[in-house]
Amino acid sequence: MSRIAKRFSDLAAEGRGALIPYLEAYDPDRETSLALLRAMPAAGADLIEVGIPFSDPSADGPVIQAAALRGLKAGATLAGVLGMVSAFREGDAHTPVILMGYVNPVESYGYERFCKDAVAAGVDGVVLVDLPPEEADVIEAPAKAAGLDIIRLVAPTTTPERLGYVLSHASGFVYYVSIAGITGTRTASAGDLRAAIPRVRAATSLPVAVGFGVRTPEQAAQAASIADGAVVASVLIETLAGTLDAQGHATDATLPTVLEQIGALATAVRAAGRQAA
Amino acid sequence: MANLMEQQKAARLNSSLRHEPDGRGHFGGRYGGRFVAETLVPLILELETAYAQAKADPAFQRELDYYLKDYVGRPSPLWLARRMTEKLGGAKIYLKREELNHTGSHKLNNVMGQILLARRMGRTRIVAETGAGQHGVATATVCALFGLKCVVYMGATDVERQKPNVFRMRLLGAEVVPVTAGAGTLKDAMNEAMRDWVANVADTYMLIGTVAGPAPYPAMVRDFQSVIGTEVKAQMQEAEGRLPDVVVAAIGGGSNAMGIFHPFLDDQSVRLIGVEAAGHGLDSGKTAASIERGRPGVLHGNRTYLLQSADGQIEEAHSISAGLDYPGVGPEHAWLNDIGRAEYVGATDEEALEAFQFCTELEGIIPALESAHAVAHAMKLAPTLPTDSLMVINLSGRGDKDIFTVAEHLGVQL
Ligand SMILES: Cc1ncc(COP(=O)(O)O)c(C=O)c1O
């Protein structure tokens, strides 16, 4: 069983959903983001998403755009991001790590080489925002051979006819983009999620995580209880950015402040348990 | 029987270079495609269906023809540039006068087609990206004509260097949103327009201004711009009784070039030359020559030649001309380059400035700085060709918008 499948099945046995915090690699520098990555499981992260900085993040709002720019300025490369995950794996064999990013750095690195190196580094899955299933043949075979999950996005605009097609290309879990929009802007209501998640569930046996617009502990608890997990990104990056000094460097407050927020999110997610389907 | 006819039809289509991309929106099995977030995929598929229906509907074509004639002012003339020809002493040079179109460039050809499509689709809000502002002005214009809401994203750097067009767009009722991300040029404006579309899918139509973006845009914009080449073919037949020998056009995203090239793709005797902006020079690191100095990658919904780092980060383009200042190029050009059907060359900022003045002084036509890149290459090539050869330069736009930039480079205070 993969780390992703095992983690979701263990959490299901515990009767709760997953908290999936996001960090942008190399934001604001390699050392700080690696320290954050290493500390996240103890703070309550069940799975972790690591953003691969890209120059043109066209599906992201201003907060993640700025994080990507800071990461690139700090020297992030795809090889460097994989190196970070390797370093994390030295101390953590169980927490699933999912890379999230855009396709061009991966295409430039080479799909086959990427899949092999990612798995060797300890990466469990990858979300490539701008690589829909229509274009995914370039990565599907090497990913399968290497044992890397390709996590698929499903959006509110995904039509019922299309849903089955998208899900037939998914592995690991399904990432439900809860709003039609970019990251860090709007938030879906609990009612929206209660209407949408059962439709996705009906079409797949994979776990379903909700992302885009999940900000508060209450929202995270709600999303993780209606679905199988909640991805929290922009709000954590906002918090991180708020602790940087005038030159954009990390301060003593950076790690504790972000980790405390992850702790609060985790507490809420754990307390909420699971809604009966 | 029907099957055989289908096969014969397919064979005929295959032997032609003028074809539709494959089912995945790829040209040559490689370039183009639909590289967008899941949220947008259903929308571009809907657009593709709507465009296919419109294209097959004679009423749509009639409506478009009406607006092209009476609103855009087509056909545009094919002008024999006598003094330029004499001065250069080689090929006989004709200028395709796209700068005479309403709003001053070829951009309105495409915008007219897409706005009629947006109306058919019931969309009420239009978003567009713009570099030089010509596409933004064209879009704002048709939105005024049809009473639609219009939001134009424009890099902050471009807002600064294309002030007259910003003012024109605002007069036309458009909201112009300066984009400060990145270098504040066309690539950043495109990112922001895509973000807007993703967030406003219910009522919004994204009106892309060049032959790039996810399928169906590259082929659709090409179709709407092909009126240029179709007219040139007929006009040259009338003037000279034959095909031209060389067609030269500037390449930003590649829409004016694709529009004039496409009808000639199967006429192998016609040399097709796309002129990219070399900026400070092809090897200066400050260039916008994506085909000559880039390599294939994925940006803005399509796979094509891109200026990018070894790590796959997109690099900033550089050109004196805002409309060419883009690190990518339409995917059909990427394919035409690889199969060798079209040639791609560069012209520098300096060469474009010189050509700008050359065309102005000899023909009394002030070209856009974008178009001046095509003129610059013609100035190099024409003298090397026999006097009985025929060259067409696509004069894609007029240069009124550029007088501030040019004045600054000439050291003149306006
Ligand atoms: C007059 C003119 N020519 C050319 C271009 C470049 O675009 P394309 O390569 O799509 O024709 C522009 C773009 O703004 C333009 O305004």
> In this structure, is residue A24 part of a structural domain?
yes
Mean pLDDT of A69-87: 98
DSSP string, chain A: --HHHHHHHHHHHHT--EEEEEEETTSS-HHHHHHHHHHHHHHT-SSEEEE---S--TT--HHHHHHHHHHHHTT--HHHHHHHHHHHHTT-SSS-EEEEE-HHHHHHH-HHHHHHHHHHHT--EEEETT--GGGTHHHHHHHHHHT-EEPEEE-TT--HHHHHHHHTT--S-EEEE-SSS-TTS----HHHHHHHHHHHHHT-SS-EEEESS--SHHHHHHHHHHSSEEEE-HHHHHHHHHTS-TTS---TTHHHHHHHHHHHHHHHHHHH-----
Residues above pLDDT 70, as percent of chain A = 99
Tens digits of residue pLDDT in B180-214: 987 788 999 999 999 999 999 999 999 999 999 99
Give the pLDDT score at A110: 98
> In this structure, is residue A182 part of a structural domain?
yes
More confident residue, A6 or B6: A6
B47 touches chain A (CB under 8 A): no
pLDDT bin (cut points 50, 70, 90) of residue B358 is very high
Instruction: Give ipTM to 2 decimals.
Output: 0.96
Chain A residues in contact with B299 (beta carbon < 8 A): 56, 104
Domain that holds residue A267: 3-272
Q: How far is the CA of B251 from the centre of ligand 1 (A)?
A: 7
Residue of B nearest to A59 (CA): B195
Q: What angle do CA A169, A172, A174 make, to 5 degrees?
A: 70
Instruction: Return the ligand 1 atom nearest residue B133 CA.
Output: 14
**Option in A56, A106, A180 nearest B191 (CB):** A56
Residue of A nearest to B37 (CA): A130
B38 touches chain A (CB under 8 A): yes
Catalytic entry in A24, A60, A117, A238 = A60
Chain A residues in contact with B42 (beta carbon < 8 A): 155, 157-159, 162
Instruction: Return the ligand 1 atom nearest residue B322 CA.
Output: 14
What does the mean pLDDT of chain A come to? 96
pLDDT bin (cut points 50, 70, 90) of residue B1 is very low
Tokens 């999230």 belong to which residue? A100
Give the pLDDT score at B119: 98
Tens digits of residue pLDDT in B316-354: 999 999 999 999 999 999 999 999 999 999 999 999 999
A163 forms beta bridges with none
B393 lines ligand 1 (CB under 6 A): no
Mean pLDDT of B134-155: 98
* CA pair distance A227, A223, nearest whole angstrom: 6
Protein residue with its CA nearest to atom 16 in ligand 1? B134
Give the pLDDT score at A185: 83
Instruction: Return the ligand 1 atom nearest residue B368 CA.
Output: 1
Under an 8 Å CB criterion, which residues of A touch B? 54-61, 65, 72, 77-79, 102-109, 129-132, 134-135, 152-159, 162, 166, 177, 180-182, 185-186
Q: How far is the CA of A265 from the centre of ligand 1 (A)?
A: 50
> In this structure, is residue A209 part of a structural domain?
yes
pLDDT bin (cut points 50, 70, 90) of residue A66 is very high
Which amino acid does the sequence have at B300?
Answer: H
Mean pLDDT of A125-152: 98
Minimum distance, in Å, between the CA of residue B207 and any CA atom of chain A: 16
- Number of CB pairs < 8 Å for A and B? 119
Residue B340, token pair as written in the block: 């060798």
Q: Which of A63, A135, A153 is the mutation pick for testing B, counting most B CBs within 10 A?
A: A135
Mean pLDDT of B271-297: 98
More confident residue, A182 or B36: B36
Minimum distance, in Å, between the CA of residue A194 and any CA atom of chain B: 19
Chain A residues in contact with B328 (beta carbon < 8 A): none
Residues above pLDDT 90, as percent of chain A = 94
B25 lines ligand 1 (CB under 6 A): no
Q: Which of B192, B200, B313, B326 is the mutation pick for testing A, counting most A CBs within 10 A?
A: B313
Minimum distance, in Å, between the CA of residue A105 and any CA atom of chain B: 4
Does residue B8 register a pLDDT over 80? no
Would you call A162 and B42 a contact, using CB atoms and an 8 Å cutoff? yes
DSSP string, B93-122: EEEE-GGGSGGGBTHHHHHHHHHHHHHHTT
Do β-strands B295-299 and B301-306 pair in parallel, antiparallel, or remain unpaired?
A: antiparallel
**Number of domains comprising chain A:** 1
* CA pair distance A270, A267, nearest whole angstrom: 5
Backbone angles phi, psi at A171, to 5 degrees: -145, 165
> In this structure, is residue A277 part of a structural domain?
no
Residue of A nearest to B310 (CA): A108
Residue of B nearest to A157 (CA): B39
Give the pLDDT score at B161: 80
Tens digits of residue pLDDT in A161-193: 999 999 999 999 999 999 888 888 888 999 999
Give the pLDDT score at B7: 54
B268 touches chain A (CB under 8 A): no
* CA pair distance B144, B172, nearest whole angstrom: 6
Mean pLDDT of B78-83: 98
Catalytic residues of B: 107, 129, 396
Tens digits of residue pLDDT in A199-241: 999 999 999 999 999 999 999 999 999 999 999 999 999 999 9
Give the pLDDT score at B10: 52
**Option in B24, B198, B303 nearest A180 (CB):** B198
> In this structure, is residue A10 part of a structural domain?
yes
Does residue B63 register a pLDDT over 80? yes
Q: How far is the CA of A66 from the centre of ligand 1 (A)?
A: 30
Does residue A252 register a pLDDT over 70? yes
Instruction: Return the ligand 1 atom nearest residue B130 CA.
Output: 14
**Option in A56, A156, A158 nearest B299 (CB):** A56
pLDDT bin (cut points 50, 70, 90) of residue B15 is confident
> In this structure, is residue A258 part of a structural domain?
yes
Query: How many C-beta neighbours within 10 Å does residue B80 have?
Result: 14
What does the mean pLDDT of chain B come to? 95
B208 lines ligand 1 (CB under 6 A): no
Q: How far is the CA of B186 from the centre of ligand 1 (A)?
A: 11
Q: Give the residue from B276, B120, B129 showing the smallest Cα distance to B213.
A: B129
Mean pLDDT of B133-138: 96
Give the pLDDT score at A276: 46
Does residue B99 register a pLDDT over 50? yes
**Option in A56, A131, A181 nearest B198 (CB):** A181
Domain containing residue A150: CATH number:
3.20.20.70
Does residue A251 register a pLDDT over 50? yes
B262 touches chain A (CB under 8 A): no
> In this structure, is residue A170 part of a structural domain?
yes
